[in-house]
Amino acid sequence: MSKGNRISQLRDTGIKVRVDNKHHKPIEDPGPGKHFWILTGLWRVANPTSNNFMLDAENLVTVDGPGCYKCEGLYTDELAAQSCKGSMFPL
């Protein structure tokens, strides 16, 4: 079994994104059997009462993935070639 790709470099766009605490883009299923590839990131927050959170390299704790949101498998060429057996909304 091969391991998923290791993340060796991330790039930022320098773009500021205005969001609120309830900001969520709708998650649309790419279709039955198709994977939904994602990265997950975790940033340390110094001041939780701030209204201006910085997602910078300095406070980045971890980035994991890419992996499939539906089947929760780490990306491999082998997994990508297979039909996704996961679900967007597990029971």
- In the complex, the residues that contact Zn ion under the rule CB under 5 A are 35, 68, 70-71, 84, 86
- Whether omega before 32 lies within 30 degrees of 0, making that bond cis, reads no
Q: How far is the CB of 3 from Zn ion (least distance, A)?
A: 17
Q: How far is the CB of 40 from Zn ion (least distance, A)?
A: 15
Q: How far is the CB of 45 from Zn ion (least distance, A)?
A: 30
Instruction: Indicate the residue among 40 and 71 with the shorter CB distance to Zn ion.
Output: 71
